[in-house]
Amino acid sequence: MILRVERLTRRFGGLLAVNEVSFHVEKGEILAIIGPNGAGKTTVFNLISGLLHPTSGQIYLEGVPIAGLRPHQIARKGIARTFQTTALFNQLRVIDNLVVAHKLRTTHGLLDTLFRTRRWRADREKSLARAVEVLEFVGLREKALHPVSTLSQEEQKRLAIGVALATEPKIVLLDEPTAGLIQDETDGIMTLIKKLKAAGVTVCVIEHKMRLIMDLAERIIVLNYGNKIAEGTPEEISRNDAVVQAYLGGEYAA
Partner 1 sequence: MRRGQFFREKWPYLILLVFALAVPALFPSRYVLQVITMSCVFAIATLGLNLILGYTGQVSLAHAGFFAIGAYGVAMMTKAGLSFWLALPLSALLAAAVSFFVGLPTLRTRGSYFAIATLCFGVIVSIVAGSWFSLTGGHTGIVGIPLPNAIPFPLVGEIGFHSKAAQYYLVLGFLLLTLFVMHRLVNSVQGLSFVAVRNNEVLAGAVGINAFATKLLSFVIASFFAGIAGGIYASLMRSVSPDVASINLMFNWVVYLLLGGAGTLAGPVVGTLAISALTESLQFLAEYNLLVFGALLVAAMVYCPRGLVGLVEAGGKKVRVYYRRQVGVRSDLEG
Which residues contact partner 1 by CB under 8 A?
A: 49-51, 70-72, 75-76, 80-81, 83, 87-92, 96, 99-101, 103-104, 106, 110, 113-114, 116, 120, 123-124, 127, 163-164, 166-167
Instruction: Give dist(CA 148, CA 93) in Å, integer.
Output: 6
| Distance between CA atoms of residues 131 and 96, nearest Å | 8
CB of 205 to partner 1, least distance (A): 16
Q: How far is the CB of 41 from partner 1 (least distance, A)?
A: 17
CB 123 within 8 A of CB 108: yes
Q: What are phi and psi of 160, to 5 degrees?
A: -60, -40
Of residues 57 and 162, the one with the C-beta less far from partner 1 = 162
Report the nearest approach of partner 1 to the CB of residue 100 (Å): 4
88 or 220: whose CB is closer to partner 1? 88
Smaller CB distance to partner 1: residue 202 or 224? 202
Longest CA–CA span in the chain (Å) reads 71
CB 7 within 8 A of CB 56: yes
State in Å, rounded, how far the first CA of the chain is from the last one.
Answer: 36
In the complex with partner 1, which residue's Cβ is closer, 92 or 144? 92
Nearest to 169, CA basis, from 130, 136, 227: 130
Q: In the complex, what is the shortest distance from the CB of residue 172 to partner 1, in angstroms, rounded to a whole number?
A: 11
Question: What is the smallest separation between the CB atom of 67 and partner 1, expressed in angstroms?
Answer: 16
